[in-house]
Amino acid sequence: MANRAYKFRIYPNNEQMILFARTFGCVRMVYNHWLNRRIRQYKKNKTNITYTVCAKEMAEMKKTEEYAFLREVDSISLQQSLRHLDTAFQNFFKRPKTGFPRFKSKKNHKNSYSTICINGNITISDGYLKLPKIGQVRLKQHRSVPKGYRLKSVTISQTPGGRYYASILFEYEDQIPEKEMHSFLGLDFSMHGLYRDSNGNEPAYPGYYRNAEKRLAREQRRLSKMQKGSNNRRKQRIKVAKLHEKVPNQRKDFLHKQSRQITNAYDCVCIEDLDMKAMSRSLKLGKSVSDNGWGMFTAFLKYKLEEQGKKLVKVDRFFASSQMCSACGYKNAKTKDLALRQWDCPQCGIHHDRDVNAAINIRNEGMRIVTA
């Protein structure tokens, strides 16, 4: 069995917005309450509290008048909040670098909660999503769900700009036969153009963040000068949030379209296994690396190719793709200078574009890996 998530935008009415806000608040309260409870318990006698104990305590708490408001929201979403807290603690003890669980702030304008499908309490039909305690919420279903997919859970999220989304997780039988590899494509990472392929093409990436940078700075300056708590500041905050949302949405749309075109045309795509985190920390390159979204692009390529039984092959990052001549294999040490964009092979005399030559070498190495 395999899982697949679809993210749809939803349009709740005013009453449903109030119910969503109430659920977000209750989920946050439950998470913070038992995080504090666990911290106090550990300080007292160095013991931990399990999810089962927390769930029993919450069930008793809901019976009291003080916490009667917890009965007004989806009970499964509150249980999921406790599970998320339990998972956060387990991750911390297994991998301390992940950090200790932190309290959720009411001032954070990005909210979410999760609920599980039990006995058909969540359904999709006729452009509406049925949710427990919320009812039928209008849904923009931009793609159809394949037959045989079984709905497992839903995560409702609200962005800082005020938009609502439903991320719906489905389970399905994973029986995709592998295709024979006939057509191969090599991609060489490009700082400003996203990539150059082994056919000499590049997607002419627009650089959405760079284009919006001045406008973002201007609107953020206006926000910083407004009085805290005023209506004008609230409106300006939403305006800035929408601008920040637009840039990644544009980038994601572009990367989805590019990855779909490549997936439909080729059986195997070969790329370098780059350390994007290290590159994004660079003072000179960090902003450009983050703007073009290479990591997101390769993730899109991977799952799209796997859905059709195709492959994404990663070539070792230390493979000398830029130094080797793709025609004769001569290794030119002068190409270590990144300023050298064009060069002629001293051995066979062929003229090379640095990036296209590297993409061809990556493609050839990927073919060797697949056929080995």
Catalytic positions = 188, 272, 355
- The whole-angstrom separation of Cα 135 and Cα 133 is 6
Residue reference for tokens 């159809």:
144
Q: Sign of the C-alpha dihedral, residues 63, 67, 73, 77?
A: negative
- The whole-angstrom separation of Cα 258 and Cα 292 is 12
Give 220-280 as a DSSP string: HHHHHTSPTT-HHHHHHHHHHHHHHHHHHHHHHHHHHHHHHHHHHH-SEEEEE---HHHHH
Of the candidates 360, 359, 270, 263, the one whose C-alpha atom is nearest the C-alpha of residue 310 is 263
Of the candidates 203, 176, 178, 198, the one whose C-alpha atom is nearest the C-alpha of residue 188 is 198
Specify whether the backbone of 119 is left (phi greater than 0), alpha (psi in -120 to 50) or beta. left
Instruction: Provide φ and ψ at 150, rounded to 5°.
Output: -110, 125
